[in-house]
C-alpha cells in the first residue's frame, strides 16, 4: 500500500516548456487535489477533483490544467511554464465522506522554471 | 472564503520546553480542523484533527490541540518538545460536510528545537 505517489520528484524546465506532473493513489479515494507550496505562503490549492470525471478550480488555477484520468490518477499540466511556477507541488487524496475530509499527501515534486 | 492565520512564523525552543502554536480561522460555520507536520525533506503528515465532540484532541507524538469555538482558535500544544520535533507545522481548515473542496492552510510555523 504505497498511499499517494508522485512523479517526477525533481524537474527543471525552461520558460515556455510544458510538462505533466503525475499523481496516483491506491487507497480507493474519491477525491484528489493539487497544491503548490511556496516559502512563507503555506500550501495553496490549484485544482481538485471531487470524484472521477469532475474537476474544479482552487485558489490559484491560472497557468495549469488537470486531468482525472481514472479514479486512481490525477495529473497536473503546465502548458507554458513560467518562473512564477517554480514551487513544490503536492498531490493529495481523501475519501470524501461528508465528514471525513482528512487528506493524505504525496512526497511532492520540486519544480524549477528557469 | 475561509482563511487561517498562524501567528508565529518562526519559533525557536530548547529541548524540554513547552510548546504552543497559535491558529485562528475565519469562518462562522461548522469546520473541520487539522494540524499537519512537515519534517525536513518530507511530505505532510497529519498530527491531529478535530471533527466534533471533545474539543481537546490528542494526536501523535504527544501533541494535542484545543478547539475553542468562541475564539475561532485551534492551538497546538506539547508539554515537552524534543529535537526531533524540528519541522514546519501547518494548521488547516475545511468546511464540515462541505464535500471535497480542498483544505485552506495557514502559512506555517517553522519550529526549531535546540538540543
> What digits encode the pLDDT tens for the residues A6-41?
999 999 999 999 999 999 999 999 999 999 999 888
Phi, psi of B100 (to 5 degrees): -110, 20
Per-residue pLDDT band at A51 (split at 50, 70, 90): confident
Q: Could you tell me if A102 lies within 8 Å of chain B, comparing CB atoms?
A: yes
Query: Mean pLDDT throughout B83-93?
Result: 95
With beta carbons under 8 A apart, name residues in chain B contacting A30: 100
- For residue B9, what is the nearest residue in chain A, using CA coordinates? A40
pLDDT recorded at residue B50: 92
Q: Residue A105 has what pLDDT?
A: 93
What pLDDT, on a 0 to 100 scale, did the predictor assign at position B98? Answer: 56
**8-state DSSP, B103:** P
Beta partners for residue A56, in sequence order: A48
- Is the separation of the CB atoms in A27 and A15 below 8 Å? no
Tell me, what DSSP letter sits at residue B62?
Answer: G
- Return the percentage of chain A with pLDDT > 90, whole number: 76
Q: Are A48 and B107 an interchain contact pair (Cβ–Cβ within 8 Å)?
A: no
B48: nearest CA partner in chain A: A102
Residue A43 DSSP symbol: E
- The residue-averaged pLDDT of B70-95 equals 94
Distance from CA of A86 to the nearest CA of B (A): 17
Nearest-Å Rg of the Cα atoms of chain A is 13
Residue B112 bridge partners (DSSP): B12
Enter the C-alpha cell of residue B30: 461548522
Cell match 475530509: residue? A101
> In chain A, which residues have their Cβ closer than 8 Å to the Cβ of B36?
105
The set of cell numbers assigned to B114 is: 535546540
pLDDT score, position A85: 97
Cβ separation A102–B99 shorter than 8 A: no
In this complex, the residue of B42, B49, B52 whose CB is nearest that of residue A102 is B49
Pairing of strands A109-113, A10-13: parallel
Amino acid at each position: 500500500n504505497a498511499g499517494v505517489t508522485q512523479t517526477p520528484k525533481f524537474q527543471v524546465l525552461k520558460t515556455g516548456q510544458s510538462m505533466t506532473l503525475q499523481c496516483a493513489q491506491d487507497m480507493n479515494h474519491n477525491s484528489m487535489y493539487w497544491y503548490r507550496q511556496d516559502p512563507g505562503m503555506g500550501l495553496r490549492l490549484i485544482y481538485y477533483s471531487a470524484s472521477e470525471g469532475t474537476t474544479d478550480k482552487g485558489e490559484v488555477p491560472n497557468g495549469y490544467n488537470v486531468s482525472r484520468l481514472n479514479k486512481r490518477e490525477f495529473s497536473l499540466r503546465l502548458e507554458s511554464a513560467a518562473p512564477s511556477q517554480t514551487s513544490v507541488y503536492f498531490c493529495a487524496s481523501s475519501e470524501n465522506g461528508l465528514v471525513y475530509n482528512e487528506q493524505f499527501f504525496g512526497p511532492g515534486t520540486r519544480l524549477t522554471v528557469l | 472564503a475561509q482563511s487561517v492565520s498562524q501567528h508565529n512564523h518562526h519559533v525557536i525552543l530548547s529541548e524540554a520546553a513547552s510548546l504552543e502554536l497559535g491558529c485562528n480561522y475565519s469562518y462562522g460555520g461548522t469546520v473541520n480542523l487539522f494540524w499537519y507536520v512537515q519534517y525536513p525533506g518530507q511530505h505532510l503528515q497529519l498530527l491531529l484533527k478535530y471533527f466534533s465532540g471533545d474539543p481537546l484532541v490528542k494526536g501523535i507524538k504527544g501533541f494535542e490541540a484545543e478547539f475553542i469555538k468562541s475564539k475561532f482558535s485551534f492551538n497546538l500544544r506539547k508539554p515537552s518538545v524534543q529535537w526531533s520535533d524540528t519541522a514546519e507545522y501547518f494548521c488547516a481548515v475545511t468546511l464540515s460536510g462541505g464535500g471535497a473542496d480542498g483544505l485552506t492552510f495557514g502559512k506555517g510555523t517553522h519550529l526549531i528545537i535546540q538540543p
